[in-house]
Structure 1
Amino acid sequence: MDEFKVRTIDLQQMQNQTRHKTDGLSSSTLVLRRGQAFTVTINFDGRPFDPMKEKLIFRIVLGPLYVEAPVSVSRQPSLTQWTAVLEKCIRNPTGHSAFSVSLSSPASASIGAYTLHLRVETRLSVKAYFLGQVTLLCNPWCPADSVFLQSEDLRTEYVKSDIGLLFKGSTGNIVPQSWSFDQYEKGILDICMKLLQVSPQHQADMGKDLLNRSNPVYISRVISAMVNCNDDKGVLMGNWSGDYKDGVNPSKWSGSADILRMWSETQFSPVKYGQCWVFAAVMCTVMRALGIPTRVVTNFNSAHDTDGNMTIEEYYNEKGEKLSMSRDSIWNFHVWVESWMKRPDLGRGYDGWQVLDPTPQEMSAGMFRCGPAAVTAIYERRVDAQYDVPFVYAEVNADVRTMIVRNGRVLSTSVDKRRVGALISTKRPGSMSMQDITSEYKTEEDENTYRGSMAGVTGRSTTFRCEPQSDRIMASKGVEVSLQLLKAPVVGENISFNIIITNNDAAPKLLRKHVNAQNKEYNRNPTETFWEAHDDIKIGPKETVTIKHEISFKHYMLKETEEDSLVNLAVVIEDVKSQERVLASEEFIIRSPSLDIQIQNEVSVIINTPQVATVIFTNPFNVAVSGELTVSGSGLLEEKAQMRHITETHAYDPTPRNHKEARQFHSQDGRCQDAFC
């Protein structure tokens, strides 16, 4: 009989990727998950493979590292080392024959781009074959993997889902924003792997970096640093100045693919620009692509404690104007991610969700990154636990010390222990609505009373609290004051609010009232005052008075309303006789008008059939406006855009993958309709 001769080798890409739940991920290689067997088919001529006469040895190579796995006819697959086991032989009627080999990677294998080789050794010869490249990912379906997540529903949401919902705004007026994570878009997985290759850790010591890639704790710290560009050739450059003329306004991004492609196509030049939700959303894309369960989290009233004293100092002058006298600040919202992994370095009890923050705020071990900080450690106040638990603990639990000052002298002080971390939220699995996860970070006594009022926030609605913000009241024995917004502020409308003053004494008082409204960025202290009011008030014994104010649109109107605007509103009440002063403040968002999307026949959408949707925008202004409508579709076919008209509206077929269309519109009657099919 003829000698055994290898003819071809088939990596069975489609079948293997289906079994490994990597089908849909776009890569130039076979994409597999660690800790799970995959099949290689070897087609041969001549006599069948005889392990007594020839040896088949697979060599698995990762950079300068490699391991060899001889084909065995009896050995069982292993979760701790690479193994190769002969499965079955098939003889075809044509004379060609084949057999399958089951290759298994350990559940702790390093993730990365491997090359596979096969060596056939006989008594007289040695022949080598190149099989191809394999990208190995983490495996949340494998119980032995350190990122194992038991629930299939949660794996679907936090690994496989490419559509998300981010939350911005303020606790009283939450703004949901949809985001396309795009991990299935063409070439995105390969770009995500490039982040690891370009990292300073890989460049400094390739072998050490590749060995450490077995550990999701290490991987997550590398990615946290690489999403920002502050220390390396990272993806995004942050910009909070308001000037984005040489880049893209962070609010314009709606998905991760454009950002990652731009970074890759410019030879790893930073993409301009990102802010916290963009950094977090891009990191979520990378982590999900690498197989690590990840979700985007928003912390409302997020403290940035620069000096590590767990206290945020705020200063106001006696006229109610907030002053920039402290490096500390409270971000109206801050967005990070949580990734699911085991934490053997922390001991028992700290596995599960870990906070990771790629927004460059403070350095961690010499680089701008944050985490992974175990959520359980934050809840238990384990501020000695690595990584960066004290910083994250302060973000959700810091005290707020508010002072009224004049000429460098403190006139009055109050301490608020509940304002920071008022609401911590994420997208609810399987739903386009908000899930309150504050209780995972804070004990009951720490939790803010906002929590109950936030139930029911979804991607198309907003909740708004109109009751007085009792946790923001600075009270003296004699006078109390609070602010009450009467309705959710919307661009184009007046801002209506009440000031409620109570005289606790049995004698009348003469009070001076100072009200001040300032523009504010979500991540810093307010800037200039755009509206103020000052007057004297007489109040009777034990009397409560309510004073209504309105700030007209002309006072807060911006030259260009591109995104939701934030306002810091404060009132200082001065007792003329005693010189005591009390303050109440409220930060809120002025919502931009929303787009209403109506899908025709939503329940009967058919693949490859045009679908009609109508986008309705209502102009709140008394003048005509112009703007740009951007329509995007994720997971659709490439290069198949079709444009046609439907009556007096525009229409298009959203078949291109990640297709985006920008259309100018002009509104004369206050309503703009644009349909696409």
Structure 2
Amino acid sequence: MATPARSKGSRPTISEKISSYYGNVKSLLLGNDLTGRRQTCEENPFTSETQLTGFKRDQEEFHLKPVNVDLCRLKNREAHHAAEYEVPNLILRRGQAFDINIDFNRTYIKGQDAVSLKFVTGSRPTQSRGSVVPVVQVDRIQDGQWGFELAAVQEKSVTLRVSSGSDAIVGRYELFIDTQHLKDDIVEKWRYKHPDDIFILFNPWQKDDAVYLSGEPDRKEYVLNETGRIWLGSVEKYYVRPWNFGQFEYVCLIAAISILDRSELADRARGNPTLVTRTVCRA
């Protein structure tokens, strides 16, 4: 049986008021359409361009192909205060530099070969929403800004010194390495996708990060501490119990990222610690 339409000028029902109120509160908690809640309509998803084609087989010898990519996980994780995490992947803190070693199938030729990176996150990544981040070569990287510099070149091997943005989206990323070879006005392109995900977290050590803490004792206490205490009772009668945070356990990081992945939080809003905290607390 169809519900009769509400006559013009009549007052909204209680259920309509509740629905409207809930929608307004939800928007305040998660942000507006541009910076908070995820929009369902995306333009030009990155997944449609992940395959680069159009090269001829007889020119394949000119392609600059990565044959081995070393993310320097142990060194980078240690430098980014992420060595304690049980998740074996590369874990970084945003706004801080890290190294990547690349071995190519042939000698890298300056002036003819070019390398660029793309860090991709989210279920429907697009560059306009900040979930596809193109990273290009610069003369010198700046703290808190996306970019990379050629730290070393030795025949077939190069070392990239990469920096991420201090406001980067936190979460799980895929890494794509694009190469170009220019010869006789012909550009040969190749794209490599690294098989392992990369995790980028907030960075209390980066002064331009919104979660920055100036004191090292505070960072050890509130960021790196694995155990603590929880206070119970009332004002007049209280007691304390030990508490194991377990933040570095495998399941904890994966669970936190999964909560964000399944939330209505827009990709760009995942760089905002206030909106991220609200989303995780609501789960």
Q: Is 2:279 aligned against 1:214? A: no
- The equivalent residue for 1:229 is none
For the pair shown, the structure with the greater C-alpha radius of gyration is 1
Question: In the alignment, is the contact (CA less than 8 A) between 2:87 and 2:249 conserved in 1?
Answer: no
- The equivalent residue for 1:149 is 213
- The equivalent residue for 1:173 is 237
SS in 1 for 2:104: strand
Q: Is 2:193 aligned against 1:130? A: yes
- The equivalent residue for 1:192 is 256
TM-score using structure 1 length: 0.30
Question: In the alignment, is the contact (CA less than 8 A) between 1:41 and 1:101 conserved in 2?
Answer: yes
Deviations 1:117-145 (A, max 9, x none): 00111134211111231111000001111
SS in 2 for 1:39: strand
Q: Is 2:108 aligned against 1:44? A: no
Select which of 124, 142, 147 maps to 1:77. Answer: 142
- The equivalent residue for 1:162 is 226
- The equivalent residue for 2:175 is 116
Take 2:140 and 2:274, find their aligned partners in 1: how far apart are those partners?
32
SS in 1 for 2:278: helix
SS in 2 for 1:187: helix
Runs of 4+ deviating beyond 4 Å: 2-5
Question: In the alignment, is the contact (CA less than 8 A) between 1:77 and 1:104 conserved in 2?
Answer: yes
Deviations 1:24-83 (A, max 9, x none): 112253110000011110112432341x102111011112120211234x233352x410
**Unmatched 5+ stretches in structure 1:** 92-96, 203-208, 227-677
SS in 1 for 2:141: coil
Equivalent position amino acid for 2:94 in 1: R
Take 2:229 and 2:76, find their aligned partners in 1: how far apart are those partners?
31
Question: In the alignment, is the contact (CA less than 8 A) between 1:88 and 1:99 conserved in 2?
Answer: yes
Equivalent position amino acid for 2:176 in 1: H
Equivalent position amino acid for 2:269 in 1: N
SS in 2 for 1:23: coil
Select which of 81, 93, 117 maps to 1:58. Answer: 117
TM-score using structure 2 length: 0.70
Matches within 5 A, 1:173-322: 173-199=237-263, 201-202=264-265, 209-226=266-283
Take 2:270 and 2:153, find their aligned partners in 1: how far apart are those partners?
36
How many residue pairs match? The answer is 210
Take 1:25 and 1:134, find their aligned partners in 2: how far apart are those partners?
13
- The equivalent residue for 2:133 is 67
- The equivalent residue for 1:30 is 90
Deviations 1:383-439 (A, max 9, x none): xxxxxxxxxxxxxxxxxxxxxxxxxxxxxxxxxxxxxxxxxxxxxxxxxxxxxxxxx
Question: In the alignment, is the contact (CA less than 8 A) between 1:28 and 1:190 conserved in 2?
Answer: no
Question: In the alignment, is the contact (CA less than 8 A) between 2:141 and 2:163 conserved in 1?
Answer: no
Equivalent position amino acid for 1:138 in 2: F
Take 1:170 and 1:8, find their aligned partners in 2: how far apart are those partners?
59
**Unmatched 5+ stretches in structure 2:** 1-60, 126-130
Question: In the alignment, is the contact (CA less than 8 A) between 2:65 and 2:190 conserved in 1?
Answer: no
Percent identity between the two aligned chains: 27
2-11 vs 113-122, which moves further: 2-11
Equivalent position amino acid for 1:127 in 2: W
Higher relative CO (Cα under 8 Å, sequence separation at least 6) belongs to 2
Equivalent position amino acid for 1:69 in 2: V
Select which of 73, 77, 83 maps to 1:13. Answer: 73
Deviations 1:589-626 (A, max 9, x none): xxxxxxxxxxxxxxxxxxxxxxxxxxxxxxxxxxxxxx
Take 1:27 and 1:41, find their aligned partners in 2: how far apart are those partners?
21
Equivalent position amino acid for 1:77 in 2: Q
Equivalent position amino acid for 2:201 in 1: L
Take 2:247 and 2:109, find their aligned partners in 1: how far apart are those partners?
41
SS in 2 for 1:26: coil
Q: Would you tell me which structure has more helix in proportion to its own residues?
A: 2
- The equivalent residue for 1:105 is 164
Question: In the alignment, is the contact (CA less than 8 A) between 2:96 and 2:143 conserved in 1?
Answer: no
Deviations 1:313-352 (A, max 9, x none): xxxxxxxxxxxxxxxxxxxxxxxxxxxxxxxxxxxxxxxx
Question: In the alignment, is the contact (CA less than 8 A) between 2:168 and 2:271 conserved in 1?
Answer: yes
